[in-house]
Amino acid sequence: MKRQTAVGREKAVTASASGQVIAAFVLAGLLAGPLSSATQPARPHVLLIYTDDQGYGDVSALNPGSRFQTPNLDRLVREGMAFTDAHSSDTVCTPSRYGLLTGRYSWRTRMKKGVMGAEGKGLIAEGRTTLASMLRGSGYSTAMVGKWHLGMTFHGNKGNRDWSRPVLDGPVDKGFDYFYGIPASMNYGVLTYIENRRILDPPTLWTQKKANEIAIADYRITPPYELTREGRELEVAPSFDDQQVLTAFTKRAVQWLDDFASEGGDEPFFLYVAYTSPHKPVIPIPEFQGKSEAGAYGDFMMETDAHIGSLLAALDRNEMTRETLVLVTSDNGPETTYRERLKRFGHASAGGLRGGKRDLYEGGHRVPFIVRWPAVVKPGQRSSELVCQTDVLATMAEVLGRELESDEAEDSVSFLPILKGEQRPSRPPVIHHSSAGYFAIRDGRWKLNMIRGSGGSLAPRVVEAKPGEPQFELYDISADLAETNNVASQEPGVVSRLRDEITRIVTTGRSTAGPPARNDGALWWPELTWLAPNGSKR
């Protein structure tokens, strides 16, 4: 059964959030205009760049008070559209990546909270449509370079591996023709580069986190490495150098673009580049150390920006810029070190928002989201429409004119009309989700946290309501972007309506129009705090 790619039948929602952070956007125009929608390229190239733990305030064009400059990200803001109310689908690595690639919330899978390690059964089920598989099915050449963090299967157990056998359940099993990268965040081990299914340098040595003297509350994973395990839990290849990971990714991605251009084929490309920065370890290469006014983190962001610039330069050099849709966004808000960074350097990685990585508050999931597509998107635009990273799949489906099946991208709503400067039909509410598995719902101006507290890294994680107090937190985001005034007691009708809405979205297995779907695993789990185990209201 087909469902609409457009969202004309979805429930009406206003998405006009504004505030101090949004007002900080600095956008400039370009002389060259886009093509009309009638001449929209049928199949644009797609370059999707995913940063890791980059906060809303870590783009200098979006944060006039930034203590470092990001000229290449700023270029994309000038030449494209910056979304001021865009969200990752979760507040930590694995679930956000799942949502980005599948158009489905990760808590619908077996993983209800937390993240995966370097290995394990892949979170993307066999047969599940991904952004890569959909584009490949439409004639795209698809490639991924970078951090996967969605599960891989290695042969043998830690300390007893057969590294000569192929890696299973990785990117090339989920729609990518080519993969070069690492399994997960570096703190989980199996530190080596994988090409397609092949381990390039077997991780036969052992190490553990080491002190990082240049960054706040950080670590290094750097030689010397050891021959024996003896309490060391990180498997590492002899050639692996944590400080060279970004450079390795960029070189391989640029080479892939150059090779693609030299082959001169008619098919378009989809390249997904998932950087490991500015996630810990914060380890800028020497030429960037001391360049910012925000310590090693600022230096690391400047290095990250330079790598993005190398990708843009490859598009320019190969005359592919105008026909390429570039999307840059982050998997969640900044690591908890953002608080100390603000004290020491005056740099607000969270952009003045409350909370950061792992938290239900805006700083945990409101992230940079920049789209440049010169053939279609007018330069220097900004949009305050509510979007989620799950929406990327439906957007590309609409670009291609492909109808989505009812069992594809159940939480994905196209934002193509926004890119074309048209009025977008209303969209259903967006669900936010903390690292500890707690929920919030956003519908227009209103945001209802289904617990009291951050649900993540801020203490206390959950606050017990006193007798007579509401058990939820309700914020008017249009007037209170900093989430300082809980108005749940004053707006019981809004609380009741949003509670009904989130119950519907969770229990029917989808946000979009279509037949009910089923969440994987249990029908109820403890973080559904407002529901009893039988699905009724508490």
Tokens 């089920």 belong to which residue? 125
Residue 334 structural domain: 43-189+238-419
Tell me, yes or no, whether 309 lies in a domain. yes
Q: pLDDT class for 266, splitting at 50, 70, 90?
A: confident
Report the pLDDT value the prediction gives residue 155, as an integer from 0 to 100.
97
In 71-165, where do the E strands start and end? 81-83, 86-87, 141-147, 156-157, 160-161
Tell me, yes or no, whether 428 lies in a domain. no
> Which carries the bigger pLDDT value, residue 244 or residue 264?
244
Query: Is the peptide bond preceding residue 470 cis, with omega within 30 degrees of 0?
Result: no
Report the interhelical angle of 295-317 vs 245-263 (nearest 10°). 10
Task: Kindly report, residue by residue over 420-470, the tens digit of the pLDDT.
Answer: 999 998 899 999 999 999 999 999 999 999 999 999 998 889 998 888 788
Task: Kindly report, residue by residue over 11-38, the tens digit of the pLDDT.
Answer: 333 333 333 333 333 333 333 445 444 4
Report the pLDDT value the prediction gives residue 2, as an integer from 0 to 100.
53
Distances in Å between the Cα of 8 and the Cα atoms of 13, 17, 448 are 11, 21, 25
Task: Look up the CATH number of the domain holding residue 57.
Answer: 3.40.720.10
Task: Kindly report, residue by residue over 393-402, the tens digit of the pLDDT.
Answer: 999 999 999 9
Considering its fold, how many domains does the chain have in total?
Answer: 1
Tell me, yes or no, whether 182 lies in a domain. yes
Tell me, yes or no, whether 452 lies in a domain. no
Task: Kindly report, residue by residue over 163-205, the tens digit of the pLDDT.
Answer: 999 999 999 999 999 999 999 999 999 999 999 999 999 999 9
Task: Kindly report, residue by residue over 270-311, the tens digit of the pLDDT.
Answer: 999 999 999 999 999 999 999 999 999 999 999 999 999 999
Q: pLDDT class for 40, splitting at 50, 70, 90?
A: low
Report the pLDDT value the prediction gives residue 261, as an integer from 0 to 100.
97
Tell me, yes or no, whether 368 lies in a domain. yes
Tell me, yes or no, whether 464 lies in a domain. no
Report the pLDDT value the prediction gives residue 12, as an integer from 0 to 100.
32
**Distance of alpha carbon 212 from alpha carbon 221, whole angstroms:** 9
**Distance of alpha carbon 244 from alpha carbon 250, whole angstroms:** 10
Cβ count near 419 (within 10 Å): 26
DSSP tag of 307 = H
Q: What value does the mean pLDDT take over residues 347-357?
A: 98
Report the pLDDT value the prediction gives residue 38, as an integer from 0 to 100.
45
CB 433 within 8 A of CB 89: yes
